[in-house]
Homo-oligomer: A and B are copies of this chain.
């Protein structure tokens, strides 16, 4: 593999925001990188300092309006945050809290007076803030938050109150130490009526760092990871909040207490408000994948050097990456990481396009939210599994802080449940897919014959296709019976993924419809009994759009050797995804037993073919050595040399 091919791969992976990725790589040196073995206090101290030393031009606040120092580039800001995920995940989360969640909420939910008053200081981190949404009692279902904020026309102010412990704000970044203000989410009550969850800007600490009157601040204490983030708890005891501190872009309260909003339905308004915050999920998925690429780089490079066990007739012990079992662990995860890199890039591009629209497009906005949720769930689970696997692939060395993987694992672990629990997010994806049908058919009861449903499903699925014409061409090129098509045929992969999604979704719909008829008195069971089925539909959906993004991404490589290599990696992603679910394909007559076995054999062939390119494939991730900061990468080559010398000396002694 030539350096040129690696460079082409890096270009393709870096994508539209290559300039931001490159800027972060160049500007953030060793002084920004995770320090292994710090105490919690040391980590918080360091991160609090570094957050203010981040160079402005690396893009962390790129999403801010340019008039306040940003560059109106939300896509760029998620990419910058993603890159921080390879530098230090506490720094990434702290930046995400400050500029993404806190600053982002002021931008998206506030109006000009809030922007004018606070955005400049937020951008410079002179005003550190919190995003106080989650409560101890409600994280996934934030519509049910129990904090209340009640308007009093007499004083022209709100009364912000935490009625009991379950309503305290919990896990809040910047709350335990650095935050001076918070965007607080609470149930808006005015004129004796509740209008659902809204957000207010509330000072929580004075200039000396002491809690404001009525505000109780606590520390969430030690955590599994992210030691540098000061997560805390906030309670409000009838805190007075001036009327103009309501972030009132989507809902306004007049001086007399009259409530107005351009969106009449409380639920719809709330989800519209939440929708503007989609960037958080886009960022978390991206950062999880970035950290995964770091872990894979360490494990693959270590596996390329480290040797263990001898083989008859061989002079030296066997390199770990030569073992089939090691390839079976690392390479499919590597292929999936490539797939997600392309899917994530497509997601960021889509987000940038939608944010740039003059007129909001609700359909595309909803699709964006669904994909952001789904890709966040899939990427963070992939991170958790893969970093754990990399830890094990490095043996005991993987458990030591000095080799970095332990920290990557501990820090990313929470991503599977924060910014939305993954299972809940996949349910959201499924709901989006089902809602498509509801829109088309009016309601569950009104659906027509099953065959009619089937046709519609095909249409809905296809509508969601990215790189549509290319995908169509490839699928249409698949001719003959399945059995006759090579299992490495791209069109067959695409057709198989699409067919699986469609069929699982149809099955779920059928079962939901049956349930709606037979379980009229048990509404919870109608949905709960098919929850696993519905989650499978969501997974199949995200895996399909991920494959399509990969296929589209290959086309961006302008070098035949790079394209060929990417194509093999894509084969591996497609086939290991099918293999993982091959029982489904067998159960539904999509694979014969013989063809199913062939897939496993072809995967093993692919592993052999990709073996020589493992190093190049991780080098293409272009993670700077000083970011990897792993002792085993620095030290192991010399050890292997010493052992080879020892072996040679022993052999020479035996020969003489």
Contact = CB atoms under 8 A, between A and B. Distances in A.
A382 interface: no
A642 B134 CA distance: 17
A622 to B, nearest CB: 27
A144 B640 CA distance: 13
A116 interface: no
7 contacts: A37-B222, A141-B308, A165-B639, A224-B409, A322-B524, A328-B531, A399-B414
A589 interface: yes
A512 B583 CA distance: 27
A593 B604 contact: no
A198 to B, nearest CB: 18
Nearest to A407: B224
A422 B329 CA distance: 13
Interface of A: 36-37, 39-40, 134, 136-141, 144, 146, 163-166, 170-171, 220-225, 308-314, 317-318, 322-325, 328, 384, 388, 391-392, 395-396, 398-402, 406, 409-410, 413-414, 416-418, 421-423, 427, 523-524, 528-529, 531-532, 535, 582-583, 586-589, 593, 596-597, 604, 635, 638-640, 642-643, 646
Contacts of A586: 583, 586-587, 593, 596
Contacts of A138: 308
A640 B166 contact: yes
A590 to B, nearest CB: 10
A619 B379 CA distance: 35
B392 A422 contact: yes
Contact of A643 (B39, B137, B308): B137
A474 B596 CA distance: 32
A324 B399 contact: no
A221 B421 contact: no
Contacts of A313: 523
A396 B224 contact: no
Contacts of A638: 165
B399 A646 contact: no
Nearest to A585: B583
Contacts of A396: 134, 139, 170-171, 414, 417-418
A437 B642 CA distance: 39
B146 A532 contact: no
A413 B401 contact: no
Integer count of this chain's copies in the complex: 2
Contacts of A225: 399
Given A37-B40, A589-B593, A222 B402 contact: yes
A140 B388 contact: no
B144 A317 contact: yes
Given A324-B528, A399-B417, A643-B166, A224 B406 contact: yes
A255 B581 CA distance: 65
B639 A164 contact: yes
Contact of A136 (B146, B220, B524, B639): B639
Given A144-B317, A398-B417, 4 more contacts: A140-B308, A224-B400, A388-B413, A395-B421
A399 B421 contact: no
A166 B317 CA distance: 14
A646 B309 CA distance: 65
A141 B395 CA distance: 12
Contacts of A137: 639-640, 643
A-B pairs, 7 with minimum CB distance: A37-B222, A224-B406, A222-B401, A166-B639, A164-B642, A311-B524, A586-B586
A322 B525 CA distance: 10
Contacts of A163: 642, 646
B140 A309 contact: yes
A255 to B, nearest CB: 26
A323 B531 contact: yes
- Residue from the set A309, A384, A640 with the largest chain B CB neighbour count within 10 Å: A309
B646 A164 contact: yes
Contacts of A166: 639-640, 642-643
A649 to B, nearest CB: 10
A311 B523 contact: yes
A139 B311 CA distance: 17
B140 A400 contact: no
A583 B604 contact: no
Given A146-B646, A392-B417, A395-B140, A223 B401 contact: yes
A396 B139 CA distance: 8
Given A325-B535, A392-B422, A410-B410, A165 B642 contact: yes
